[in-house]
A and B are shown apart, each in its own frame.
Chain A
Amino acid sequence: MGEVAAFPPEAGDAELAAAHAAAAAVCDPEVPVLTIEDLGVLRAVTRGEAGIEVTITPTYSGCPAMDLIAMQVDLALEKAGISRRTVRLSLSPAWTTDWMSEAGKEKLRAYGIAPPVGKARGRAALFGVEAVACPHCGSAETERVSEFGSTACKAHWRCLSCREPFDYFKCI
């Protein structure tokens, strides 16, 4: 995780722990097999003057799922019995696929989406030639159809072995 994450919560604060558990269980509306914690979208759960504060960050500037995620986090905390709470959107530091957990990458693959390959370190990762394995048959014989896919975070690829099209979660 990145430098702003405040996990695990301080020992002895049961409400904070419950808030963290509730927020961490919220799933991404576009990729429902991943939680926002798997994705690295959940950045921090802390206690402030206004109660529990949950900080989330968007994957892309125009990610249309952010409003819904914020609403779902708010709802999850309500269900966990936490009445004093705020959900805060943070832009800095900018989200990167490096924050995606290994468990999250495995869940993506099982769901049929190729997880991001390598580390997002500047232009080299963006402009280098990527070898993306097919999430269906595992073949490395794949080709990019389009830089842009079904959502802002994915590109459209095709497997040359099993002939199946698939989404690739872009490395940024």
Chain B
Amino acid sequence: METPLFTYTLRLADNALVLGHRLSEWCGHGPMLEEDLALANMALDLIGQARNLYTHAGAIEGKGRSEDDLAYLRDCPDWRNILLVERPRGDFAFTILRQFLYAAFMHPYFERLAASKDETLAAIAAKSVKEMAYHLRHSAEWVIRLGDGTGESAARLKEALEDLWPFTGEMFEVDAVERALIEAGIAVDPAAIRPAWDATIDHVFGEALLARPRDGWMQTGGRRGEHSEHLGHLLTDLQFLQRTYPGATW
């Protein structure tokens, strides 16, 4: 039986690791050297955040599971990440737009989580918010450059937005697990993030000459363990070594 705090911490950790893995897939394939380094750096930040969160989740659970056990030895239905982060990396416009959407939400989110009554979550958030500020600035600059760039770059960005927008609703979901933690001053109420999110999206999309889609029907399920087939493929790569050589160390 999972406790609410374990589930909540795992959701944050899984978001960070899955998105970090998607970014790491660009290593050696970036459109230019500087961007290759930037994507790898952002991946490193996210994987670092995930490590801290998994370690905390393991301690909350109290069954002796380590960060590695949680990352490498769980199957798809046990993953709690939002569907946005497991979408395949796509082209550069898709990757950078997803990074922007995630950072536009997580930056103000971590700002608030830094005041959590859970001291470890607060400490991890206070550290992570500094990193997300860089991700937000960097990805926003690219969204503007691509949107207000060539016909080709604008078209690709628009196509990415049409694909990604229905996955943004899940970031704002609150279920019973989280509601109790919000009331206890441990979790962040995503409704409180909405004004900052709207302001960032509207400002950057305005500069990027990108029309903001309407909030229509939104994808859901990842936080409950209902995933697309993409997560399974990602995990075969992420978990290959520990699944093939259990307990391998170096």
Q: Are A and B bound to each other?
A: yes
Could you list which residues of chain A lie within 8 angstroms of chain B, going by C-beta atoms?
58, 60-64, 91-95, 120, 123, 126-127, 145-150, 152, 156, 170, 172
User: Interface digits, B30-65 against A, CB 8 Å rule (1 contact, 0 not)?
Assistant: 000011011011101111110110000000000000
Residues of B whose CB lies within 8 Å of any CB of A are: 34-35, 37-38, 40-42, 44-49, 51-52, 119-120, 122-124, 126-128, 130-131, 133-134, 137-138
Bound-state CA distance A95–B123 (Å) is 10
Cα–Cα, bound, A94→B128 (Å): 9
B37, B41, B137 interface centre (most CB from chain A within 10 Å):
B41
6 closest A-B pairs by CB: A62-B48, A61-B48, A92-B123, A146-B34, A62-B44, A148-B38
Question: Which chain A residues border B41 with CB–CB below 8 Å?
Answer: 148-149, 152
Closest A residue to B48 using CB positions: A62
Chosen A-B contacts, 25 in total, with CB atoms closer than 8 Å, are A60-B44, A61-B48, A61-B49, A61-B131, A62-B45, A62-B47, A62-B51, A63-B48, A91-B52, A91-B124, A91-B126, A91-B127, A92-B122, A92-B126, A93-B123, A94-B127, A126-B130, A126-B133, A147-B38, A147-B137, A147-B138, A148-B38, A148-B40, A148-B134, A156-B34
In contact, B120 and A152 (Cβ under 8 angstroms): no
Asked whether A172 lies within 8 Å of B124 as measured between CB atoms, the reply is no
Question: In the docked arrangement, what's the CA distance between A92 and B56, Å?
Answer: 14
Contact: A156 with B37, CB < 8 Å? yes
- Distance in Å: Cβ of B31 to nearest Cβ of chain A: 12
Contact partners of A146 in chain B: CB under 8 A: 34-35, 37-38
Structural contact, B137 and A127, CB atoms closer than 8 A: yes
What chain B residues lie within 8 Å of A61 (beta carbons)? 45, 48-49, 51-52, 124, 127-128, 131
**Alpha-carbon gap, A147 to B96, bound state (A):** 14
Residues of B contacting A156 with CB < 8 Å? 34, 37
Check A91 against B123 for contact (C-beta < 8 Å): yes
A150 touching B37, Cβ below 8 Å? yes
What is the CA–CA distance of A123 and B41 in the complex, to the nearest angstrom? 20
A91 near B37 with CB under 8 A, answer no
User: Are the C-beta atoms of B124 and A60 separated by less than 8 Å?
Assistant: no
Nearest Cβ on chain B to A172's Cβ, whole angstroms: 5
The CA-CA distance from A58 to B128 in the complex, in Å, is 12
Who on chain A is nearest to B49 by CB?
A61
Chain B residues with CB below 8 A from A127, complex form: 133, 137
Q: Which residues of B contact A145 (CB under 8 A)?
A: 34
A170 vs B49: C-alpha distance when bound (angstroms): 19
Interchain CA distance A94-B51 in the complex, whole Å: 16
The smallest beta-carbon distance between A171 and chain B, in angstroms, is: 10
Kindly state the separation between the CA atoms of A172 and B131 in the bound complex, as whole angstroms: 9
Q: CA separation between A145 and B44, bound complex, in Å?
A: 20
B44, B120, B131: residue with the most chain A Cβ atoms closer than 10 Å: B44
Contact A64 B44 (CB under 8 A): yes
Q: Which residues of B contact A148 (CB under 8 A)?
A: 34, 37-38, 40-42, 134, 138
- Other than the known A58-B48, A61-B49, A145-B34, what 16 A-B pairs have Cβ atoms closer than 8 Å? A60-B48, A60-B127, A61-B128, A62-B47, A91-B124, A92-B122, A92-B126, A123-B133, A127-B137, A146-B35, A146-B37, A146-B38, A148-B34, A148-B37, A148-B41, A170-B134
Chain A residue with minimal CB distance to B119?
A92
